A = this chain, B = another copy of it.
Amino acid sequence: MAHQTVGRPRPGLPDDPRAEVAEPTPACPVEVALAALRGRWTTLVIRELLGGEHSYSGLRAALRGLSDKVLSDRLAHLVEAGVLERRRETGVPPRTRYRLTPHGERLGPVLQALWDWGADSPAAVSGRA
């Protein structure tokens, strides 16, 4: 009775053998998710794409301060993680469109959960330096 936080029979933590890992391994789904979100600017890139697909320069325009290197790093990483889909428009001015995959769309609730927790955080409320 002391802790039933994760004690529900959902396809999650308690019964799954991967929940017993004693080391940070890629086998743990939580690590997989955090690995996908890892890196500065990553969530902001996702947030832009949650609002609809964008071109490379569109993203760069929306996220000033983000260098080319980091942006292309993030995009490649997110494509690799199955979050984004890259579509090249082979025209005279080469265009590339980035959009969320269905799996990437499902990050919406995840980010929402992170948001809700963070918004409720004492650090966010009391403005602790």
Contact = CB atoms under 8 A, between A and B. Distances in A.
A103 B120 contact: yes
Contacts of A52: 2-3
A71 interface: no
Interface string A36-71: 110011011001001110000000001111000000
A5 interface: yes
B47 A19 contact: yes
B65 A22 contact: yes
B103 A110 contact: no
Interface residues of A, number: 60
Contacts of A122: 82, 103
Interface string A12-35: 110000110111101111111110
Given A29-B121, A103-B121, 7 more contacts: A5-B50, A6-B112, A11-B116, A13-B112, A23-B65, A32-B117, A113-B114
